């Protein structure tokens, strides 16, 4: 596939609801997308301290995996995305949520959103799929639409962490096997160091409050125009709630195994054995059904999963 724009690429990945769910996070069906969506929504809610008065924005909302789980926890939720097809699935999935709003993006700007119209904004698994120039343009425009006193929660792949590096090492392999006359996939995975990502956030005008970097992802919470007192209270809150926001070492380990299964380096059975060996743990409850569903979908190639 050699789509030349973000829109064409993601539209072609979201031709059916099933394909769109697979493209957002590898989910195989509605029950799995809800299962992972609840987990990520809890993480986002903790990072941004989302409450019933908040006007929340998701940049790159996909099928509304996270938004569907957040609409009941905030005043309004707005999902924006470059892909018309993703938004079509999101609108269908959130049809019964009257406080959900959608906009299609045309470029790396949020021109349809008014200045200072958003309290809390987040973007999950999106900045890792674009050029750094676009990431920075979006951060700058997020700074315009988030009100003074508002917060953002953003993440990308962490090049420095061993699991982030393991994920990155698959990228040169993909390119090595590609037609070198074609340009690189515009939506390919891109990586930052924690310092680099924080630099973009800071230069876009935000005040970084937390930079969680002990996993495959760099996750940053930052604020706009916070006074010293607010900065201190946000620091204390984010330190207290870090375990609910940052990916844990066990999450990172399972994520690394999941990627190894997808790229055929280990079998699903080998991963399942490692997951089961770590039980009981929240991460086991997250990854086990996710892995088994993927295994069922690939049963022809991988053999039948356990009952």
Ligand X SMILES: C[S@@+](CC[C@H](N)C(=O)[O-])C[C@H]1O[C@@H](n2cnc3c(N)ncnc32)[C@H](O)[C@@H]1O
- Binding to ligand X (CB under 6 A) within 255-294 occurs at none
Residue written as token pair 């590898």: 26
Pair 255, 214: CB distance under 8 Å? no
* Shortest distance, position 70 Cβ to ligand X, whole Å: 11
- By beta-carbon proximity to ligand X, the closer residue of 125 and 246 is 125
Q: Which residues pair with 172 in a beta bridge?
A: none
* CA pair distance 92, 170, nearest whole angstrom: 34
- Binding to ligand X (CB under 6 A) within 179-238 occurs at 187
How many CB atoms are located within 10 Å of the residue 146 CB?
A: 27
- By beta-carbon proximity to ligand X, the closer residue of 82 and 246 is 82
* Shortest distance, position 226 Cβ to ligand X, whole Å: 25
| Region binding ligand X by CB under 6 A among candidate stretches 42-50, 119-127, 281-289, 290-298 | 119-127
Q: Check residue 113 for interaction with ligand X (CB under 6 A).
A: no
Q: Check residue 10 for interaction with ligand X (CB under 6 A).
A: yes
- By beta-carbon proximity to ligand X, the closer residue of 126 and 163 is 126
- By beta-carbon proximity to ligand X, the closer residue of 126 and 213 is 126
* Shortest distance, position 235 Cβ to ligand X, whole Å: 26
Q: Check residue 22 for interaction with ligand X (CB under 6 A).
A: no
| H or E segment and range at residue 150 | strand 146-158
- By beta-carbon proximity to ligand X, the closer residue of 134 and 234 is 134
User: 122 phi and psi, to 5 degrees?
Assistant: -145, 160
Given 41, 46, 124, 221, the residue binding ligand X (CB under 6 A): 124
| Helix, coil or strand: residue 59 | strand
- By beta-carbon proximity to ligand X, the closer residue of 7 and 224 is 7
Site string for ligand X, 61-90 (x = CB under 6 A): xx--xx--------------xxx--x----
Q: Check residue 105 for interaction with ligand X (CB under 6 A).
A: yes
User: 121 phi and psi, to 5 degrees?
Assistant: -130, 145
Question: CA torsion, points 176, 131, 153, 109, in degrees to nearest 10?
Answer: -150
- By beta-carbon proximity to ligand X, the closer residue of 234 and 247 is 247
Q: Check residue 253 for interaction with ligand X (CB under 6 A).
A: no
How do beta strands 118-123 and 55-59 pair?
parallel
How large is the angle between the packed helices 132-145 and 194-203, nearest 10 degrees?
A: 40
Tokens of 182: 């074609």
- Binding to ligand X (CB under 6 A) within 134-163 occurs at 134
Q: Check residue 60 for interaction with ligand X (CB under 6 A).
A: yes
| Helix, coil or strand: residue 189 | coil
116: left (phi > 0), else alpha (psi -120 to 50), else beta?
left
Residues 6+ apart with CB under 8 A from 178: 184, 185
How large is the angle between the packed helices 268-277 and 282-297, nearest 10 degrees?
A: 160
* CA pair distance 295, 288, nearest whole angstrom: 11
* Shortest distance, position 273 Cβ to ligand X, whole Å: 28
Q: Check residue 125 for interaction with ligand X (CB under 6 A).
A: yes
Residue nearest to ligand X (CB): 62
Binding residues for ligand X, per CB under 6 A? 6, 10, 24-25, 60-62, 65-66, 81-83, 86, 105, 108, 124-126, 129-130, 134, 187
């Amino acid at each position: 596939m050699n789509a030349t724009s973000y829109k064409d690429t993601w539209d072609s990945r979201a031709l059916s609801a099933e394909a769109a769910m697979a493209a957002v996070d590898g989910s195989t069906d509605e029950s799995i997308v809800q299962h992972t969506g609840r987990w990520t929504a809890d993480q986002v809610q903790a990072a941004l301290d989302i409450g019933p008065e908040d006007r929340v924005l998701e940049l790159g909302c996909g099928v509304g995996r996270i938004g569907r789980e957040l609409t009941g926890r905030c005043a309004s939720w707005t999902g924006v995305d470059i892909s018309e097809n993703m938004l079509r699935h999101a609108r269908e999935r959130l049809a019964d949520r009257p406080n959900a709003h959608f906009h299609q993006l045309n470029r790396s700007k949020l021109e349809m959103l008014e200045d200072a119209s958003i309290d809390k904004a987040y973007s999950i698994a999106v900045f890792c799929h674009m050029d750094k120039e676009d990431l920075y343009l979006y951060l700058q425009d997020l700074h315009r639409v988030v009100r003074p006193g508002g917060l953002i929660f953003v993440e990308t792949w962490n090049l420095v962490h061993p699991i982030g590096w393991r994920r990155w090492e698959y990228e040169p392999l993909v390119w090595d096997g590609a037609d070198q006359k074609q340009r690189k996939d515009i939506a390919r995975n891109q990586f930052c160091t924690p310092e680099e990502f924080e630099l973009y956030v800071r230069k876009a005008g935000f005040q970084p409050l937390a930079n969680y970097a002990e996993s495959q992802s760099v996750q940053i919470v930052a604020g706009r125009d916070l006074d010293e007192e607010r900065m201190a209270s946000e620091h204390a809150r984010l330190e207290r709630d870090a375990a609910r926001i940052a990916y844990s070492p066990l999450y990172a380990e399972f994520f690394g195994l999941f990627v190894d299964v997808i790229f055929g380096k280990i079998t699903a059975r080998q991963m399942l054995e490692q997951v089961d060996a770590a039980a009981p743990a929240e991460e086991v409850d997250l990854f086990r059904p996710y892995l088994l569903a993927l295994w069922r979908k690939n049963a022809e190639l991988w053999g039948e999963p356990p009952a």
